[in-house]
Amino acid sequence: QKAEWEKLRDEKTFSKDNVHFDLAANIGTPDDIKGVLDNGAEAVGLFRSEFLYMDASELPSEDDQFEAYKKVVEGMNGKQVVVRTMDIGGDKQLPYLPLPEEMNPFLGYRAIRISLDRTDLFRTQLRALLRASAYGKLAIMFPMIATVAEFKKAKAIFEDEKQKMVKAGTKIGDDIQVGMMMEIPAAAMIADKLAKYVDFFSIGTNDLIQYSFAADRGNEKVSYLYQPYNPSLLRLIKKTIDASHAEGKWTGMCGEMAGDQTAVPILMGLGLDEFSMSATSILKTRSLMKRLDTNEMKKLAEKAVTEAETNEDVIKLVHDAIK
Ligand code: PEP
Ligand code: MG
C-alpha cells in the first residue's frame, strides 16, 4: 500500500470521474515545508502563524516574521500558501503578552478579537505578510471571524497597509487573496453575506465542532460530542460551500476532519474545493479520492444532510456507499 501511495506523490488529485480537488497541508513552522513537499501536497492550506509568537521570548519583529513567511512561500515554489494571522488566546498563551484571566478563554479575547484591538501587532504582521507576498503565491486568512463587521474591519486594515506599501514602492504580490476561517456557527449561518466580501472560506472544524456542540475540544468528559458527521455540522459545512460557490469563491477545510477517511467522501460530494491536513495523510487521501465518483458522493452527501438523524447514521451511509 505504501508503494502504491508513493506513486501518487507527483500526481495531482482527481476523483474517479476526473474532477480535481486540491490536497494541501497544514504547517506550524517553515521547517515543515520539507515534509509537505515529500508528501506531494499541492499547496499549504493553513500556516498556523501563532507558532512564530509562541516559540519566541518577545514579540517577533516585522523582519523576523517576513523571513519566516518568505521561507515558506519560496519553499513552495509558486504553490499557494495560506497564512492565518495570529490565533492566540484560548489555550494559547504568550509569556510576554499577558492576557486577562478569563472564565471562558475559548469564548473570550482571542484570535481576530485581539488583532482588531491590538492593531499595532496586527499591522506589523500584515506588513510582514505583504512583503513576503512578492516571493510566491501568498494568501491571508483571519481566524475566528463571527460577523461581517469583523471581516470588513480586518480587511480594511489590510487594504490600508497594502496601499501604504504600494505608495512607498515596496514590491508585493499582485493577487493576494484574503479570506476567513469558518469556525463559528453564527458566521456559517450568514455565509451568503460573508461570501460577498471574502475571496475564500477555510472551514476550521476543530473549533466549528466545539462551538456547535458547546463541548470543549480538550475535555475528555464531553468528547462523545465530537461528532464530525452529525447532520447538524454537515449542514453548516454545506451552507458554507454553497454560499462561496454562489459568489464564485472557493472553500477549503483545514480542521482535522479534512483528512478523516470517513468524512472525505461526504466532503467531496458537498463540493469542498481544498482539503488541508497533516502532510502524512495526503497520499492516503489522494489514493482514496481516486477511487471515488463525485456523482455517487453527491448522492451520499445529500442523504447524509437530509435523511440521517445521527452521527452513526452517517458513518453507516458512508460505509455502505464505499464498502
Ligand atoms: C480549527 O479550528 O479547525 C483549526 C484548523 O484551527 P486550530 O485547530 O488551530 O484552532
Ligand atoms: Mg480554530
pLDDT greater than 90 at residue 4? no
Give pairs for 304-311: CB < 8 Å, separation 24+.
304/229, 304/231, 304/234, 304/266, 304/269, 305/231, 305/234, 305/235, 305/238, 305/270, 306/231, 308/231, 309/231, 310/230, 310/231, 311/227, 311/228, 311/229, 311/230
User: What is the rounded average pLDDT of the residues 270-278?
Assistant: 98
Confidence grade of residue 142 (pLDDT, cut at 50, 70, 90): very high
Confidence grade of residue 223 (pLDDT, cut at 50, 70, 90): very high
The CB of 50 under 6 Å from ligand 1? The reply is no
Which residue minimizes the CA distance to atom 6 of ligand 1?
Answer: 204
Residue 3 or 15, more confident = 15
Q: Alpha helix (H) ranges present in 109-204?
A: 112-117, 119-132, 148-168, 185-189, 191-194
The reported pLDDT for the residue numbered 7 is 87
The predicted-structure confidence for 24-36, as pLDDT tens digits, reads as follows 999 999 999 999 9
Q: Supply the ipTM of this predicted assembly.
A: 0.99
The CB of 232 under 6 Å from ligand 1? The reply is no
pLDDT greater than 90 at residue 95? no
Q: Report yes or no: 174 and 138 within 8 Å, Cβ to Cβ.
A: no
End-to-end CA gap in the chain: 18
The CB of 255 under 6 Å from ligand 1? The reply is yes
Per-residue HEC secondary structure of 224-250 comes to: HHCCCCCHHHHHHHHHHHHHHHHCCCE
Helix (H, G, I), strand (E, B) or coil at 191: helix
Residue to mutate (ligand 1; options 27, 88, 182, 183; most atoms within 8 A of CB): 183
Confidence grade of residue 139 (pLDDT, cut at 50, 70, 90): very high
d(CA 65, CA 79): 20
Nearest Cα residue to 320 out of 257, 266, 256:
266
User: What is the rounded average pLDDT of the residues 309-321?
Assistant: 98
pLDDT greater than 90 at residue 55? no
The predicted-structure confidence for 77-89, as pLDDT tens digits, reads as follows 999 999 999 999 8
| Global confidence as pTM | 0.97
The answer for residues whose C-beta is within 8 angstroms of residue 279's C-beta and 6 or more apart is: 25, 26, 27, 32, 35, 36, 38, 39, 41
The CB of 206 under 6 Å from ligand 1? The reply is yes
Burial 162-197 (b: 16+ CB within 10 A, else e): beebeeeeeebbeebbbbbbbbbbebbeebeebbee
Nearest Cα residue to 304 out of 285, 322, 286, 288:
322
Which residue minimizes the CA distance to atom 1 of ligand 1?
Answer: 204
The reported pLDDT for the residue numbered 90 is 84
Q: Is 274 tagged catalytic?
A: no
Q: Which of 141, 254, 277, 318 is catalytic?
A: 254
pLDDT greater than 80 at residue 130? yes
Nearest Cα residue to 141 out of 249, 235, 256:
249
